[in-house]
Amino acid sequence: MEESPGGPSQKKVVAVVGGGLVGALNACFFAKRGFDVELFETREDIRQAKIVRGRSINLALSHRGRQALKHVGMEEKIVSQGIPMHARMIHSLNGKQSPIPYGKKGQAKRENNRLVIYLSSYPVKLMCRVNFVFLRSDGSEEQVEADLIVGCDGAFSAIRKQFLRRSRFNYSQTYIPHGYMELTMPPINGEFAMKPNYLHIWPRNTFMMIALPNLDKTFTCTLFMPFEEFEKITTGDEVIEFFQKYFPDAIPLIGVDALKRDYFRLPAQAMVSVKCSPYHIGSKCVLMGDAAHAVVPFYGQGMNAGFEDCIVFDEIMEQFNEDFSAVLPEYTRVRVPDDHAIADLAMYNYIEMRAHVNSKWFLFRKHIDNLLHFLMPKTIIPLYTMVTFTRTRYHEAVARWHWQDRVINRGLLFSATGALLGGSFLLIKNPPDINKLLVPAEKMWSRLVALRTS
């Protein structure tokens, strides 16, 4: 398994396009299998660079991602650089903070771009600043020859554009109406301005702010808001007025001057959800990570799903003895439904985080689910737990979640039916008035039907 069958002179060449998180990790997976790996990245080598350009974003590393890192011996190194998160912390409008535990051991989180530095202890040729030429033979650009091309070049993948030219390639890109903006919350007297081991959330229906801790004791606050709302705010005073109205407790922590200044530093950024299928062309090319399935960032699974791609591909490589012509179609068959499921879940959470986290019903159901999980830990497992703390396939987690919901709602349905019929026996001791029965019956049923279908 460590050596390719034909010996070093006949090593197959794998070209990994994109040296981001998934590309870098994937390069290590292929290197570990003994392939001749070339990693293509247009940005300069950040191990040598003094200033790293490009955006940085806080990411949550959970079970799936850790399993992938473990495979190449990187788990502890990365986790030790992160800050564990044990719970969500909900900030109400009046400044009250209420923790909602995740129900299981915490997550670690980390910053972008560091992975490529650590992981290069594997024998990977880093081909910096090379324009990758694909399916083109006019001789005008450097050509790359490889036995397998792995497109890990992110949400706006150049490799995927070549897929789009072919027939029967299903593809969707959906921009959500919200943009995001990052603001920094500095340390206070050298310490975190808020409790560090939490994902801080300010849910405000149409918009939302979250804050995640950094190693330098700052928090990165991310404000999610429809673009049209961002555009309404045009002066520093309007920024303060807006925060006064919705996030008053954050103003002193970010600072009035910083807030007035930083709000206008960069325009709000767009968020896109990308789904496609198939992930492969013949036995030559495959898409992974954001290139195959960019998700909106509301389930904390973007990086984890990309890392899990590497394990899943590796497992199939093992199963089919590294025969690309069998591995690639199987990878599409196995992985597409899971990636589509997590893309949908992230979109679902986009609504849930803003709206429901606030609602009594949502909290009630969270408690019911956690209680049932406590009573029947093998039967009822909250969706969040399956997604974040297990490697249950995403689409199976979703199917199981719907099944659990049906079971729980059927329980309610039976109880309610009993109550209704019990009530009607009392009524009909005197001559029964059919309307009296029908009105509450119809009401109750439509409520239960709404529950079942919502």
**Distance in Å, CB of 67 to a copy of itself, minimum:** 32
Note whether 168 binds a copy of itself by CB under 8 A.
yes
Nearer to a copy of itself, 202 or 350 (CB): 350
Stretch that binds a copy of itself, among 116-124, 134-142, 164-172, 347-355 (CB under 8 A): 164-172
- Per CB under 8 A, contacts with a copy of itself among 42-101 are none
Stretch that binds a copy of itself, among 35-43, 135-143, 170-178, 331-339 (CB under 8 A): 170-178
HEC-encoded secondary structure of the chain: CCCCCCCHHHCCEEEEECCCHHHHHHHHHHHHCCCEEEEEECCCCCCCCCCCCCCCCEEEECHHHHHHHHHCCCHHHHHCCCCCECEEEEECCCCCEEEEECCCCCEEEEECCCHHHHHCCCCEEEEECCCCCCCCCCCCCCCCCCCEEEECCCCCCHHHHHHHCCCCCEEEEEEEEEEEEEEEECCECCECCCCCCEEEEEEECCEEEEEEECCCCCEEEEEEEEHHHHHHCCCHHHHHHHHHHHCHHHHHHHCHHHHHHHCCCCCCEEEEEEEEECCEECCCEEECCHHHHCCCCCCCCHHHHHHHHHHHHHHHHHHCCCCHHHHHHHHHHHHHHHHHHHHHHHHHHHHHHHHHHHCHHHHHHHHHHHHHHHHCCCCCCCHHHHHHHCCCCHHHHHHHHHHHHHHHHHHHHHHHHHHHHHHHHHHCCCCCCHHHHHHHHHHHHHHHHHHHHC
Note whether 425 binds a copy of itself by CB under 8 A.
yes
Note whether 440 binds a copy of itself by CB under 8 A.
no
Note whether 428 binds a copy of itself by CB under 8 A.
yes
Nearer to a copy of itself, 94 or 435 (CB): 435
Single out the residue of 80, 167, 189, 430 in contact with a copy of itself (rule: CB under 8 A). Answer: 167
Nearer to a copy of itself, 198 or 207 (CB): 207
- Per CB under 8 A, contacts with a copy of itself among 262-281 are 270
Contacts with a copy of itself by CB under 8 A: the residue count is 29
Single out the residue of 142, 432, 440, 447 in contact with a copy of itself (rule: CB under 8 A). Answer: 432
Per CB under 8 A, residues contacting a copy of itself are 167-175, 227, 270, 413-414, 417-418, 421, 424-425, 428, 432, 434, 437-438, 441-442, 445, 449, 452-453
